[in-house]
């Protein structure tokens, strides 16, 4: 607790003595002020960190021999390229795409605005460059089902009960 020092004589002939007293009579408590400022600062910092967008989300462009290809990766786990929309997920440094009802995995390197995918069904690595934020998925286009969920539902439908 903070205290202020007050010098005042007890009576006219006496020498001044030091009296410690709480000095919060004006309603300002310095500890409370520091606590409030600290909590507000922590709240602003944690909110900013929590709202930091996933660096993978966005509209990406790849230049290949066949031409320019655009890929949109969204936070709802959908990714679109051309007329096709697929489901995606990332585990460690691997991007998984649900293609044809099964997961295909690609090695992934993300550095700034450059994303390089290799492996999977690619004959050679492909590098994409982020050109902007993701466009919204049209309401008429559904996020493809998760192949893991489909397998689980099929097992339950057959009555095996194994997940």
Q: What six digits make up the tokens of 118?
A: 């290799």
Q: What pLDDT does residue 144 have? A: 85
Region 75-87: mean pLDDT is 92
CATH domain 58-158 topology: Lipocalin (2.40.128)
Mean of the per-residue pLDDT values of the chain: 77
pTM for this model (two decimals): 0.61
pLDDT tens for 11-65 read 555 555 554 555 555 556 565 656 565 555 555 554 545 556 788 999 999 998 8
Q: What pLDDT does residue 159 have? A: 62
């Amino acid at each position: 607790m903070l205290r202020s020092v007050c010098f005042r004589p007890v009576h006219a002939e006496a020498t001044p003595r030091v009296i410690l007293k709480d000095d919060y009579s004006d309603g300002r408590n310095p500890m409370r002020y520091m606590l409030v400022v600290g909590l507000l600062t922590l709240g602003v910092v944690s909110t900013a960190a929590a709202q930091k967008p996933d660096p993978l989300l966005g509209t990406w462009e790849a230049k290949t021999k066949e031409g320019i290809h655009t890929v949109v990766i969204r936070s709802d786990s959908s990714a679109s390229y051309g007329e096709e929309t697929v489901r995606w997920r990332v585990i460690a440094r691997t991007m998984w795409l649900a293609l044809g009802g099964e997961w295909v995995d690609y090695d992934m390197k993300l550095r700034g605005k450059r994303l390089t995918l290799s492996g999977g069904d690619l004959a050679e690595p492909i590098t994409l460059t982020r050109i902007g934020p993701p466009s919204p998925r049209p309401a008429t286009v559904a996020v493809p089902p998760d192949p893991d969920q489909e397998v689980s539902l099929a097992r339950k439908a057959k009555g095996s009960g194994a997940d």
